[in-house]
Structure 1
Amino acid sequence: MALDVELLDERVEGEVRLRRLRYTGGEQARVPAVLLQSAAGADPGPAVLLQHGANTGKDDYYIQAPARRWAKQGWTVLTIDLAEHGERATSAPTDPLIRRRLIGKPAFVAQSVADLTAGVDLLTATPGVDPARVGFAGFSLGGMLGTVFAAREPRIRAAAIVIAGSFAYTRYWERGTTDEDRARRRANAEATDPAFFAVAIAPRPFLMVNTTDDPVFPREAVETLFAAAREPKELRWRPGTHHQWGAGIYKDVFTFLQQSL
């Protein structure tokens, strides 16, 4: 795939060089992205795709704050807007976004995986990146999609999934009103739910970090996804909710990536 990268803006902010760009993703979609590196430059080092969750975008503080910290430490960080998010949003987001777009829409998952795959193409072609040291970290919806993506993309050498899980524990595909409907729902689940993909991440390291009081991903959802993955894997619990958590989550993710890449 020809990335056709368009540089929109480049600036140095303190110790970080920040580039705003667009590249070609799946179905020839133009993907808005932010690429962050140390302004001082460095020998080829690790890189990470850092993915936002539902109803947010690449420019949200909880994404850009760690991205800048990691870039200061010599990492290359790429953040992108998923389809229907950030600069790509065509309507106001709503709370049922996860179920409506992820579970019910295999095309959305396929688009996201293709966009992230093209993001790896971009990272591995970026000066200052060691192509053998590329990882992924995703929050919420970004973590669910990232599980599917990492399972399919061998260039991702480690994956950290944050405040995410799988709804497979509810066996939602059995709620169909007819055999045909149930079969369709099951096929959708197998094409979209991360629990059907996590097994393929091994033998690469897999980390899940979740909060103790998350109403979106209860313990059953978290443990379902974790059980589907193989070793090496680790599950950590931190105090907090789906939208409120402490800095310990970022420390867990960065330490894991440092040790794995």
Structure 2
Amino acid sequence: MKLIGWLMLGLFLATLAWGAWWLADHTRLRHDAFVAHRGAVPVAETEAIVSHPGGFTSQAVHLSTATGLRVDARLLRPTVQDAPLPVLVLLGGHRTGRNAVDLVGHPGPFVMVALDYPYHGDIEIRSIGSFFRGLREVQQALLDTPPAVSVALDWLATQPWADTDRAELVGVSFGAPFVAVAGALDERFRRVWIIHGGAGNRGWIEHNLEDRVPQDWLRPAAAWLAHLLAHGSSFDTESWVARIAPRELIVVGARDDERLPEHKVEKLYAAARQPKELIWTEGGHIDPRRPELVRKLLELVRDRIRADHGAR
């Protein structure tokens, strides 16, 4: 019995030590990964240019770096272009890039690049093993997203039709934390837009789990675990937006947002330093199933850029 007791104690201590290590590993800041995985100027593989009614083209672009980072994007620009155009880099929901033509439509007098998140794993979970493999790939994709934004701008800087001195970064909803990181680290973006994003990523997760986790007592724990697994401490949006200055940050909130309370938007805005601006729009949260709302919000961005350039 003594031997069994010592074995049980040893197993308990080992489990406790592993748990402490796992917790420490998932709470440590991984800011170095945002820079280290960016790599040099990427190698680009471009698909055929597709012409669309209304006078614009789209093109799928696949970028890769020596660090193993792979970025998929959809490029939209006018069919006729007399000079390099301002650049808008857009990060929204899952598969934004491949759906950009339907969501964005005509980009206006701009070069618009809509990024997909750099997740290349299997969407379906078939076993416990595939869950853990998929989890590791999702975690890596999250850490790779801010450098993916910079890699896209690296490639755009080599294109004669893109004016990257007038590059702006737009993050929509789920893209907000990643755009805050990328916008803070990459000073080539002259302005950063956060549309329908807010402060408190863990609270945002909890709020959006109401339908999937109806138990009030369980939801905070589920949100804590999801935030932990996503390396949420490294994507603290309030901390990152404070580092964007002296470049401008514009926060756009929706008065009737069903996914993001107003006070979360206001808290994010308060965390930023000048120059900054808070714009409120009517309606609910942006949704890819309502492309007309996506286009309306992007038109707000484009109108501001046109006005700024016209004032010069």
Q: TM-score interval w.r.t. the shorter chain?
A: 0.7 to 0.9
**Alignment-mate amino acid for residue 80 of structure 1:** L
- The separation in 1 between residues aligned to 2:103 and 2:306, in whole angstroms, is 14
1:171 deviates by 11
Q: Counterparts of 1:166-185 in structure 2 under 5 Å?
A: 166-167=199-200
Paired position in structure 2 for 1:40 = 80
Which structure 2 residues correspond to residues 50-61 of structure 1 after superposition, within 5 A?
50-53=90-93, 55-60=94-99
Aligned-residue offset at 1:11: 2.4
Q: Distance in 2 between matches of 1:32 and 1:146?
A: 17
1:11 aligned onto 2:50? yes
Number of the residue aligned with 1:49: 89
Question: Structure 1 residue 64: deviation in Å?
Answer: 3.2
- 1:129 and 1:23, CA in 2 relative to 1: closer, same or farther beyond 3 A? same
Classify the secondary structure of the residue corresponding to 1:256.
Answer: helix
1:228 aligns with 2:297: no
Residues 163 and 16 (structure 1), Cα distance of their counterparts in 2 relative to 1, 3 Å cut: same
SS at match of 2:106: helix
2:123 to 82, 86, 91: 91
Query: Which residue does the alignment assign to 2:242?
Result: 199
Q: Any idea what the Cα deviations from partners look like across 1:178-232, whole Å, max 9, x if unmatched?
A: xxx9xx96xx554112111001111111111111122322112211211111111
Kept in 1: contact 2:91–2:170 (CA 8 A): yes
Q: Which amino acid aligns with 1:110?
A: L
Residues 67 and 77, structure 1, Cα contact 8 Å, conserved in 2:
no
Do residues 142 (structure 1) and 142 (structure 2) align? no
Distance 1:228-1:42 versus aligned 2 partners, 3 A rule: same
Query: Which amino acid in structure 1 is aligned with residue 106 of structure 2?
Result: R
- How far apart are residue 159 of structure 1 and its match? 1.1
- Structure 2 residue aligned with 1:79: 114
What's the counterpart of residue 250 of structure 1?
A: 298
CA distance in structure 1 between the aligned counterparts of 2:121 and 2:307, rounded to whole angstroms: 36
Contact 1:22 1:31 in 2 (8 A): yes
Stretch moving more, 224-233 or 235-244: 235-244
- Partner amino acid, structure 2, of 1:257: I
Q: Displacement, 1:249?
A: 2.4
Count of paired positions: 235
Amino acid of the structure 1 residue aligned with 2:87 = A
Q: TM-score, normalised by structure 1?
A: 0.77
Q: Return closer, same or farther for 1:171/1:45 CA change in 2, 3 Å cut-off.
A: closer
List runs of 5+ in structure 2 lacking aligned partners.
1-39, 126-137, 206-219
Please point out which of 60, 72, 77 is paired with 1:20. 60
Q: Distance in 2 between matches of 1:194 and 1:156?
A: 17
What is the one-letter code of the residue matched to 1:91? I
The structure with more radius of gyration: 2
C-alpha contact (below 8 Å) 1:148/1:192 kept by paired residues: yes
Normalization by structure 2: what TM-score? 0.66
Q: Which amino acid aligns with 2:281?
A: R
Shift in Å, 1:144: 2.2
Contact 2:76-2:106 within 8 A present in 1 as well: no
Return closer, same or farther for 1:259/1:215 CA change in 2, 3 Å cut-off.
Answer: same
SS of equivalent to 2:151: helix
% of aligned pairs identical? 21
Structure 1: gaps spanning 5 or more residues = 94-104
Which has a greater percent of strand? Answer: 1
**Contact between 1:169 and 1:221, CA under 8 Å: does it hold in 2?**
no
Q: Over aligned residue pairs, what C-alpha RMSD do you find?
A: 3.2
Per-residue CA deviations over 1:66-92 (Å, capped at 9, x if unaligned) read 74422x42x1111111133xxx46216
For residues 55-134 of structure 1, the aligned pairs below 5 Å read 55-60=94-99, 63-64=100-101, 67-70=104-107, 72-73=108-109, 75-84=110-119, 88=120, 90-91=122-123, 107-134=140-167
